[in-house]
Amino acid sequence: MSIPLQVLHTPAGFGAAACARGAGEGAGGPEKKEKCGVFGVWGAPNPARLAYFGLYAQQHRGQESAGIAVTDGESLAAHTGMGLVAEVFTERTMRELVAWAGPESLARASGSAAGGGNGRPDGADGSGRSGIRGAIGHNRYSTTGASLSCNAQPILESYIGGQVAVGHNGNLLNAAALRQTYEENGHIFHTTSDSEVVVHLLASPEQQRSTDPLASALRRLQGAFSMVFLFPDRVEAARDPWGWRPLVLGRAPGGYPVVASETVALDAIAATYEREVEPGEIVTLSDDGVSSRRFAESAERPAHCVFEHVYFAHPSSRVFGKTVQIVREKLGEQLAREAPVEADCVIPMPDSGRSAAHGYALASGVPYREGIVPNRYVGRTFIKPTQNERTDAVRLKLNVVEEIVRGKRIIIVDDSIVRGTTTKAKMDQLRSAGAKEIHLRISCPPIRHPCYFGVDFAQREELIAHERTVEDIRAFLGVDSLHYLSLEGMLACSATPERPAEHYCTACYSGEYRLDPEQPMSKGILERRQMKMFE
């Protein structure tokens, strides 16, 4: 079987021109999106299989594209594609990744040609180690760089120091400035993702002259990043000095080291949690075990994204020292204390409002009912760019149980409101179903400001709460009452003695940024730069 050395799957139209042509595609999208999920493992039998399951468990962190990069100890290969993990990685593509590492691993993988196998994602029969030494994986949602196949990660590149693959969760404030500098010096970029800048930093002569090129490159970055790097002889994982995004270290069965964005990925492969990767730390996974070094000191006042607790992270994950499900239930309990109302039932907005709704019902004593049922087969396929299309999608995705809401005073609990257009469509559905009163309760404060650190609501004009009062929003949504959880109440639920309230980033609520985004970066800024090159 002939497998290309570097990239097993090259999407159609790959390259700078293709990315430029795609600028602006996919506008509209869902109301709130997180940048990505990352995973890395070294030394374990069947690392590609573990990476597959690690990504599958973190599918909630990114649904636009997925990718896995592997090494046989000498060189690297990668497979990336648009879509969900199970769409990008079939039994065949997983066998190809294993086969690339050598005929011996292919024989162990399935013992037969394509079309056979035992149904496991990488065709492994469990009989022994494949030729793959390590792997990293990535789920992507785009925050900088449009939703295009050329932006799928891990990004695999060859440079003067060898080969490297990179997966990135976060957003870099100085990516556009760094990119411009490198382009003016003749560098060619193949994607419009801010993450590719890291590869060019790593390959630069000044970094290569350093005794630690990776640490030197990371010091040049400004913004949020939890990253995994795959080299032929190791996996490296790094987290920005502010700790915006989660990154954890664990051990797979047999003691093999693993890193992931969330502990739910460790659970999926029966790995044990050891600790967080500290802000400013690089962790190396290799044949020598696990080692650690610092590229920067941790910020005196970290900036953990509180929205991980509110919305992004998986309920079963432990993020920033707390189990997410417990935090969300406490958010609902606090919301019930701050905004009580007489009603017949509490109904969650599926699925992200469910945990807070349980907490609200528990604290208020109002019965909990499932009055809105999601259609799980609609998914992201029906995320459309226009308001009318988004409204149609809501009707298809969420079905109201009329017998539960008709003639009732209902409390609807949701995690947040960003644009407000889809929320209004949901409220209209409830009115049409005969709800007597609708009292909307939101388990976080109003989102009034853009995020520049890995959340895709970076345009002020998109935010319904920007320069609008709560009463303005209530009137637009057509509900009888609207109450957001207070900032103090939210932080009280997330904080611990080790991580007090001031260690959380609340910029999207308060407008107080830990880093000043001197050149606020919209999602398409790198596409627009490339479009000028091809005009």
> Which residue stretches of 227-313 are H helix?
263-268, 307
Please name the amino acid found at residue 142. S
Residue 36 known to be catalytic: yes
- Of 36, 150, 493, 505, catalytic: 36
Strands 318-319, 322-323: pairing is antiparallel
Place of tokens 């040609």: 113
C-alpha angle 69-74-79 in degrees, rounded to nearest 5? 20
- Largest Cα–Cα distance in the chain? 73
Rounded CA-CA distance 155/170 in Å is: 15
Rounded CA-CA distance 396/379 in Å is: 10
Rounded CA-CA distance 416/442 in Å is: 6
Which residues, other chains included, contact 85 with Cβ-Cβ below 8 Å and sequence gap of 6+? 52, 55, 56, 59, 66, 139
108 sits in the region (left: phi over 0; alpha: psi -120 to 50; else beta) called: alpha
Secondary structure element (H or E) that encloses residue 507, with its range: helix 507-510
Rounded CA-CA distance 424/308 in Å is: 24
Q: 3-state class of 225 per DSSP?
A: strand
Rounded CA-CA distance 223/514 in Å is: 10
Please name the amino acid found at residue 69. A
Per DSSP, the chain holds a count of helices (H) and strands (E) of 20, 23
Rounded CA-CA distance 307/305 in Å is: 5
Instruction: Point out the residues that are catalytic.
Output: 36
